[in-house]
Amino acid sequence: MQLISATLVQQVIQPRPTASYKGNYGRILIVGGNARFGGAAILSASAAVYAGGGLVSVATDAVNRDALHARLPEAMIIPYDDANLADLLQSMTVIVIGPGLGTDETALKVLNTVFEAVAPEQTLIIDGSAITLVATHHMRLPKARFIWTPHQMEWQRLSGIAIAAQTPAANQAAAAKLPGTVIVKSHRSEIFTPTRSYQNPVGSPAMATGGSGDTLTGIIAAFVGQFGHRDASILAAVYTHSAVADLIASDHYVALPSMVIQALPGYMAKMAAASAND
């Protein structure tokens, strides 16, 4: 299993072309955040904006509208039960579904709407509750460019492998049965692309706090939106999430998701400058 390196991150995060506009950096839709877990959708959307996503929208429970607007005025909002959701989905480069979505009937309906509307060339990041829903309802998967981001219990639900038995070999075999890329999150997350496997060498228990995984989804979405859907973009996003947390943890006991999000543009500027100097 190959370790992701800082060099790879510098290769991915390039200075922006002068003649460019927001449409060049990805249209991203975050679908999630029920009445109880609105924070998860806000963190995912914030990470997408601060990691450079060009245009970020959020489909969420209407109750989250004011909080999201107040916290993240850069994001647009649509209630996730709005009849226009299917139309909006079609204009997206990257869709994240699951952070704070919950697993009730409304959540299942929203997930079905996304599965029906998604097109093969769109990136679909499946996280949190959406993984649990796919696993428990044995849902048929649409054609799309999938990225799965389970934590160990979500991976147990999806793969059937008990947490204690989640060895790299077992994980790789189960990941190969799913379309796209699978990121099995842990203190040393493993990333399985259709042909290769990688491990994230950075990160620490300072990240062990609710919302860290929600934040990762937004970073992956922004990286795929800006740097294209390729393995390097996904790997660089995983590394960046943890590397930024490590910088914060050097003088903070916990690296809260909101702190990681704030620090993303600074870290990315350093990586882009390093890549320009190569």
Ligand X SMILES: NC(=O)C1=CN([C@@H]2O[C@H](COP(=O)(O)OP(=O)(O)OC[C@H]3O[C@@H](n4cnc5c(N)ncnc54)[C@H](OP(=O)(O)O)[C@@H]3O)[C@@H](O)[C@H]2O)[C@@H](O)CC1
Ligand Y SMILES: Nc1ncnc2c1ncn2[C@@H]1O[C@H](COP(=O)(O)OP(=O)(O)O)[C@@H](O)[C@H]1O
- The verdict on 152 binding ligand X (CB under 6 A) reads yes
Return the SS3 of 231.
helix
189 marked as part of a ligand binding site: yes
d(CA 270, CA 72): 24
- DSSP conformation class of 74: T
By CB under 6 A, name the one of 185, 237, 255, 260 that touches ligand Y: 185
- The verdict on 132 binding ligand X (CB under 6 A) reads yes
Beta strands 197-199 and 145-149, pairing class: unpaired
- The verdict on 23 binding ligand Y (CB under 6 A) reads no
- The verdict on 100 binding ligand X (CB under 6 A) reads yes
Tokens coding 251: 């003088």
- The verdict on 210 binding ligand Y (CB under 6 A) reads yes
Give all strands of the β-sheet with 55-60 in edge-to-edge order: 2-3, 197-199, 190-192, 181-184, 145-149, 123-127, 94-97, 27-31, 55-60, 76-79
222 marked as part of a ligand binding site: no
By CB under 6 A, name the one of 187, 196, 230, 270 that touches ligand Y: 187
By CB under 6 A, name the one of 13, 29, 30, 40 that touches ligand X: 40
- The verdict on 128 binding Mg ion (CB under 5 A) reads yes
Stretch that binds ligand X, among 36-44, 112-120, 219-227, 232-240 (CB under 6 A): 36-44
CA neighbor of 260 nearest in space, from 207, 210, 223, 204: 207
The residues pairing with 30 across neighbouring beta strands, listed in sequence order, are 58, 96
Number of chain positions touching Mg ion (CB under 5 A): 2
By CB under 6 A, name the one of 113, 123, 212, 240 that touches ligand Y: 212
Site residues for ligand Y, 111-130, by CB under 6 A, read 128
By CB under 6 A, name the one of 97, 108, 149, 151 that touches ligand X: 151
213 marked as part of a ligand binding site: yes
For the stretch 174-181, contacts whose Cβ atoms lie closer than 8 Å and that sit 24 or more positions apart, written own/partner, are 175/148, 178/146, 178/148, 179/141, 179/144, 179/146, 180/124, 180/144, 180/145, 180/146, 180/147, 180/148, 181/146, 181/147, 181/148, 181/231, 181/234
CB-nearer residue toward Mg ion: 10 or 171: 171
Report which residue type is found at 6. A
By CB under 6 A, name the one of 54, 128, 218, 225 that touches ligand X: 128
- The verdict on 180 binding ligand X (CB under 6 A) reads no
d(CA 258, CA 221): 17
d(CA 215, CA 218): 5
Interaction mask 189-208, ligand Y, x per CB under 6 A: x-------------xxx-xx
Q: Which does 153 bind (CB under 5 to 8 A by kind): ligand Y, ligand X, Mg ion, none?
A: ligand X
- Residues with Cβ < 8 Å from 253, sequence gap 6 or more? 206
186 marked as part of a ligand binding site: yes
Residues near ligand Y (CB under 6 A) are 128, 151, 185-187, 189, 203-205, 207-208, 210-214, 216
Residues near ligand X (CB under 6 A) are 37, 39-40, 98-101, 128-129, 132, 151-154, 163, 210-211, 213-214
